[in-house]
Chain A
Amino acid sequence: MSWEKVFFALLIFPGLLYAVPTAWLMLWLERKFRARMQGRIGPPFYQPFFDFVKLMAKRRVLRPSFDSIFMMGLPLVSVSAGLLALALLPISSDSRGFAGDLVLLVAFLEVPSLCSVLAGFASRSIFGQVGATREAILSITYNLPFLTAIVALAYSAQSLRLVDIAASPAGGVRALAVLTICLCLPVKLRINPFSVSNAEQEIYSGPATEFSGPQLAMWELAHGLEWVALTGLVVCLGLTFRTGTWIGDFAIYTSLSLVLVILLTILATGTARLKIQQAARFYWRWGMGLSLVALILGVFPDIERFIR
């Protein structure tokens, strides 16, 4: 990868210039569609942008210096991790990537959750601590099937390079692995029925309870970027073909991401919050089951051939 390409991916597409407006668009789409399904009007499409601007203009709350470093730094780290993860996505057919970028992507995708746990404890709020604890437990819960699915994908493609995985032929392994990653989306995005760590009726916003002003704006942005990155990951890994033209790839990628957002919103609106035990049981039973089948099929490709 040349330096120009790296900067293009980071700052223009699918990085900063594309990702931030898309993040706001996705946050808006989720809110608007949820409102419509609940018989409400919902916000206008520029609302997340206005929220961001308004929060940025707010005064910062004075805290002990060490806490304040943490509380300003963690959301920034979270936002940067989201952007870096997006830059690694193999959206266009001419992106090359590098060996091992899958591992880096998985690490970047986990950073916002980790930051959120740290932020919950750093904020010294009891709600933040409860939320952080829940987030940490959930992270163990969903990462088991998520990582197993990633391993299965990598094994079946015999590569740790995202481009190779995206270009590998469609099959049972890939379908099952992408399905598992899809199952992990609601909990990674902290939406219903797995909104355990930011359960607003119980513990306010969980880890983000004590955050306000620019710090909260950064959290919101990080959350939006998580939406873009995770839906983008599913689309990149799930889509077996590339159009070949830059514009075509861009259009298909964006529209499928938005469709995924709508599907996730329907799920979030139609379900109620589960207890943490129920969420853990779901992921360790169904998520683990699916991803283990994918892994076995990936390690022993003869089984799939035999079934066919």
Chain B
Amino acid sequence: MNIFSVLLKNLRMGPATLRFPEEVPYPKGFHGPVKIHTEKCICCGMCAYVCVSGAVRVAEHKDNCEWVYSPGLCTFCGKCVSVCPVEALHMAAKSAPSYFNTKALDEVHLVPYSPCPECGRPTPPVREVLRAKAFKGVAPNVLVKSLICQRCRQKDSQRALVSIQVKGEPPPSRSDK
């Protein structure tokens, strides 16, 4: 094709530049900043564990856990999203805005703990997704124990050990089968 016909075509078509509010559509599966659904999070800390740049941090407190995210540090690799066992994380479809201060876009999300059904102390929440995955095919009397806190779970297993080894009772069945 003749270059001058290309130039003429460009002249006739007008500029291809997009004015500011318009933007080029982002591709499907674009890796934007990480977003969290706090109502799905179980505070397991896997996201913080796999994060290479330290952009995701999880801090546990007495009655909630803090999910802290710094887009300024993030490399948008998507590893945290892929390892999240409950699919609480996803990546935004658009890139983060530009900013001068590295901490300007930092996000802090609180994941409230739910009370333990036995002792009432706040405990990291256990979601249905996780129960369906981790306690698959478990007897209902054991499934109830999945919601209890770490202390109660330790107490419970101690009690079971005592009843088996000291009192000679048969172990409680783990499965329906």
B1 at the interface (CB under 8 A from A): no
Residues of B within 8 A of A (CB): 3-4, 7, 10-11, 13-17
Report how far A219 CA is from B52 CA in the complex, Å: 50
A266 at the interface (CB under 8 A from B): yes
Say whether A270 contacts B10, CB under 8 Å. no
A38: B residues at CB distance < 8 A: 7, 10
Say whether B10 contacts A266, CB under 8 Å. no
B4: A residues at CB distance < 8 A: 266, 270
- Partner pick for B7 among A37, A40, A41, CB 8 A cutoff: A37
Say whether A270 contacts B15, CB under 8 Å. no
B7: A residues at CB distance < 8 A: 37-38, 266, 269-270
Q: Can you report 19 A-B residue pairs in the complex whose CB atoms are below 8 A from each other?
A: A36-B11, A36-B14, A36-B15, A37-B10, A37-B11, A38-B10, A39-B13, A39-B15, A39-B17, A40-B15, A40-B16, A40-B17, A41-B15, A266-B4, A266-B7, A269-B7, A270-B3, A270-B4, A270-B7
Report how far A219 CA is from B14 CA in the complex, Å: 32
Q: Which 4 A-B pairs have the closest CB atoms?
A: A37-B7, A39-B16, A41-B15, A39-B10
In the complex, residue of chain B having the shortest beta-carbon distance to the beta carbon of A38:
B10
Report how far A35 CA is from B7 CA in the complex, Å: 10
Closest Cβ of chain A to B137, distance in Å, is 62
B16: A residues at CB distance < 8 A: 39-40
Q: Which of A260-275 contact B (CB under 8 A)?
A: 266, 269-271
In the complex, residue of chain A having the shortest beta-carbon distance to the beta carbon of B19:
A41
Say whether A35 contacts B15, CB under 8 Å. yes
Report how far A269 CA is from B11 CA in the complex, Å: 12
Binary flags per residue of A34-50, CB closer than 8 Å to B gives 1, else 0: 01111111100000000
Report how far A35 CA is from B15 CA in the complex, Å: 8
Closest Cβ of chain A to B99, distance in Å, is 26
Other A-B pairs, 20, CB within 8 Å; known A36-B10, A37-B7, A41-B15:
A36-B11, A36-B14, A36-B15, A37-B10, A37-B11, A38-B7, A38-B10, A39-B10, A39-B13, A39-B15, A39-B16, A39-B17, A40-B16, A40-B17, A41-B17, A42-B15, A269-B7, A270-B4, A270-B7, A271-B3
Report how far A100 CA is from B10 CA in the complex, Å: 47
A270: B residues at CB distance < 8 A: 3-4, 7
Report how far A145 CA is from B15 CA in the complex, Å: 39
In the complex, residue of chain B having the shortest beta-carbon distance to the beta carbon of A42:
B15
Binary flags per residue of A16-44, CB closer than 8 Å to B gives 1, else 0: 00000000000000000001111111100
Report how far A209 CA is from B15 CA in the complex, Å: 30
Closest Cβ of chain B to A272, distance in Å, is 9
A37: B residues at CB distance < 8 A: 7, 10-11
Report how far A271 CA is from B3 CA in the complex, Å: 8
Closest Cβ of chain B to A37, distance in Å, is 4
Closest Cβ of chain A to B150, distance in Å, is 62
B10: A residues at CB distance < 8 A: 36-39
B13: A residues at CB distance < 8 A: 39
Report how far A271 CA is from B10 CA in the complex, Å: 15
Report how far A37 CA is from B15 CA in the complex, Å: 8
In the complex, residue of chain A having the shortest beta-carbon distance to the beta carbon of B17:
A41
Closest Cβ of chain B to A199, distance in Å, is 19
Binary flags per residue of A273-303, CB closer than 8 Å to B gives 1, else 0: 0000000000000000000000000000000
A271: B residues at CB distance < 8 A: 3
Closest Cβ of chain B to A40, distance in Å, is 6
B17: A residues at CB distance < 8 A: 39-41
In the complex, residue of chain B having the shortest beta-carbon distance to the beta carbon of A270:
B3
In the complex, residue of chain B having the shortest beta-carbon distance to the beta carbon of A37:
B7
Report how far A42 CA is from B14 CA in the complex, Å: 11
Report how far A36 CA is from B14 CA in the complex, Å: 7
In the complex, residue of chain B having the shortest beta-carbon distance to the beta carbon of A265:
B7
Closest Cβ of chain B to A242, distance in Å, is 33
Most buried by A among B10, B13, B16: B10
Report how far A40 CA is from B16 CA in the complex, Å: 6
B3: A residues at CB distance < 8 A: 270-271
Report how far A36 CA is from B12 CA in the complex, Å: 9
Closest Cβ of chain B to A218, distance in Å, is 31
Q: Which of A90-116 contact B (CB under 8 A)?
A: none
Report how far A41 CA is from B16 CA in the complex, Å: 8
